[in-house]
Structure 1
């Protein structure tokens, strides 16, 4: 078994869509990024790639590449999952934390888990998502952005 961790952060801006775990969340601001800026899914992808010692998402999906402009991060997660399988790895579970002052995310967590699990081909019971705040500290506390951390456990087949 191998473990990997991932981290991602994106800046908030008015007029952008807020997508977390593949779910569009109603909010007056969204995250800025080359893809859909899904900070949670990006952290999960990095944790999976790290567990398999396969680099990070920037290696496979570089910002600025036109084919990834606005793409759903769930599609990228499907590609990461396929890469892991090709290299002989299966996903055991992932656990994650989204850090944001607003909006409140608890009501969206189950849907996020289902979307992420489907993209990884695992049971939703193997996907943990927690939402927290930064107690008004730092860039997240000032509502300038959001961050996410993830840990993945994979096994060699």
Structure 2
């Protein structure tokens, strides 16, 4: 069996007038993330990690923000397409370890729903998806609640 590891990172600005989507679920919050798609930073980081592990470039290459077909798209669709893309090279998802950096909203109560949603989209066991949440202790753009970032590390396998 061949294994490969990938790393992904994404950040989006928090703005009024947008819904907040993280890990494929909508969260109640006074601000949402600004982006061409639904701006789900967690899913975007996971997509980049999967594509990087398979040596297939990045999310912007496959789903450019200049393409009208991806305007306001649900990022779960992008994640499903990414899993299909890595499968064209014989890879499948082994496990994911991801961290979301946000001051608010508090994410701990939402982690099980995020894991379940991602599990369904990717067709992997919930136990293979680790989601963590942290703050930056009021430091930087995250601490000032100007944006949210996410990091993801993935393992992919080829039989």
TM interval, shorter chain, is over 0.9
Partner of 2:16: 14
Please list every run of at least 4 consecutive aligned residues from structure 1 whose deviation after the TM superposition is greater than 6 angstroms.
none
The counterpart of 1:116, out of the listed 115, 118, 136, is 118
**SS at 2:52 equivalent:** helix
Partner of 2:55: 53
Question: Is there any run of 5+ residues in structure 2 with no aligned partner, and where?
Answer: none
After TM superposition, give the deviation of residue 64 of structure 1 in Å: 2.1
Partner of 1:92: 94
The counterpart of 2:29, out of the listed 20, 27, 30, is 27
Task: Give, in whole Å, the separation in 2 of the partners of 1:86 and 1:98.
Answer: 29
| TM-score scaled by length of structure 2 | 0.97
**SS at 1:42 equivalent:** helix
Partner of 1:80: 82
Partner of 1:141: 143
After TM superposition, give the deviation of residue 52 of structure 1 in Å: 0.6
The counterpart of 1:107, out of the listed 82, 85, 109, is 109
RMSD (Å), alpha carbons: 0.6
Task: Give, in whole Å, the separation in 2 of the partners of 1:72 and 1:95.
Answer: 22
**SS at 2:152 equivalent:** strand
**SS at 1:75 equivalent:** helix
Partner of 2:44: 42
After TM superposition, give the deviation of residue 73 of structure 1 in Å: 0.4
**For residues 45-90 of structure 1, what are the alpha-carbon distances to aligned partners after superposition, in whole Å with 9 as ceiling and x for unaligned?**
0000111111000000000211001111000000000111111001
| TM-score scaled by length of structure 1 | 0.98
Task: Give, in whole Å, the separation in 1 of the partners of 2:61 and 2:71.
Answer: 15
Task: Give, in whole Å, the separation in 2 of the partners of 1:64 and 1:134.
Answer: 32
How many residue pairs match? The answer is 157
After TM superposition, give the deviation of residue 120 of structure 1 in Å: 1.1
